[in-house]
Copies of this chain bind each other. A is one copy, B any other.
Amino acid sequence: MSSPTSLDSPRGGTRRWEQIAAALRADIASGHFAPGSRLPNESLLAERFGVNRHTLRQAVQALTREGFVNVRQGSGTWVRELVLDYALQKRTRLSENLAEAGERAERELLAQESGRPAGPWAQALKISAGSRIELLYTRSSVRGRPISLSTAAYPSARLAGMAEAFLRERSITAALRSLGVGDYTRLRSSISARLPTPDEADALARPVTQPVLVVNYTNVDAQGVPVEAACTLFAADAVQLQVDTGEALA
């Protein structure tokens, strides 16, 4: 009936609030509403879309369920920083929505080093303290926003060309595959949290008061031989780790 704005858009369902939710979702995905920013207030948005505030609220509730925004009474509706679910076992949840918007992580090589392992690396890789390792420092971003910093160690004896392979393949998995490690699995992850150093905070484009999730892990090949030992720092406002322990149940 009262359709001052175009009802011509077939996207996002037939109901008005679904169309509005789709429009807001697109604005968030496109970066028009940046993560961490506040949406215009409900009255304004309702007016802008030409609907009653109740109708707009239904759209916002949908975005809340999907994890795109957080609504705080008295404060406003905020675009969620927490965008990425990182599955430690399998499974994804929030990312499936973003995958539709073409969400993809970009990983860049910050620095590379090769030398003798300092204590923990050798132990994690189960190699002798004398043998050499390749160290790769990388940063991952989503939509141009830094998400994580990784320091990864590889045994030089087997994976001497990791840095070049990574630069060529643009992916750790592809780089390992090109060096003969067809498949690898994660053994165990150890998770803790701390405040970042100024350098780390800078590389993550975040304040030093924003905690990072520290994940230490080891990847092994099909034979159970360690091929990668790494420590990843996740910006805790942007990444949420998921651990699935429920299996097929009745």
Residues of A within 8 A of B (CB): 82, 85, 88-92, 185-195, 209, 211-213, 220, 223-224, 236-237, 239-250
Hey, which chain B residues are within 8 Å of A194, CB to CB? 211, 236-237
With A193-B236, A194-B236, A236-B194 in contact, is A246–B188 under 8 Å at CB?
Answer: yes
- Judging by beta carbons under 8 Å apart, are B246 and A243 in contact? no
7 other A-B residue contacts (CB within 8 Å) besides A189-B243, A190-B242: A82-B192, A88-B243, A88-B245, A187-B246, A190-B243, A193-B211, A247-B249
Hey, which chain B residues are within 8 Å of A236, CB to CB? 192-194, 211
Hey, which chain B residues are within 8 Å of A224, CB to CB? 249-250
Q: How far is the CA of A242 from the CA of B189 in the complex (A)?
A: 6
Hey, which chain B residues are within 8 Å of A193, CB to CB? 193, 211-213, 236
**A–B pairs, 19, beta carbons within 8 Å:** A88-B245, A89-B245, A92-B245, A187-B244, A188-B242, A188-B243, A188-B244, A188-B246, A189-B242, A191-B191, A192-B213, A192-B236, A192-B239, A192-B240, A192-B241, A195-B211, A211-B236, A247-B249, A247-B250
- Name A224's closest neighbour in chain B (CB-CB): B249
With A88-B245, A188-B245 in contact, is A195–B220 under 8 Å at CB?
Answer: no
Hey, which chain B residues are within 8 Å of A241, CB to CB? 190-192
- Judging by beta carbons under 8 Å apart, are A213 and B242 in contact? no
- Judging by beta carbons under 8 Å apart, are A185 and B250 in contact? no
Hey, which chain B residues are within 8 Å of A213, CB to CB? 191-193, 213
- Residue from B82, B191, B209, B247 within 8 A of A243 (CB atoms): B191
With A188-B242, A192-B241, A194-B236 in contact, is A90–B247 under 8 Å at CB?
Answer: yes
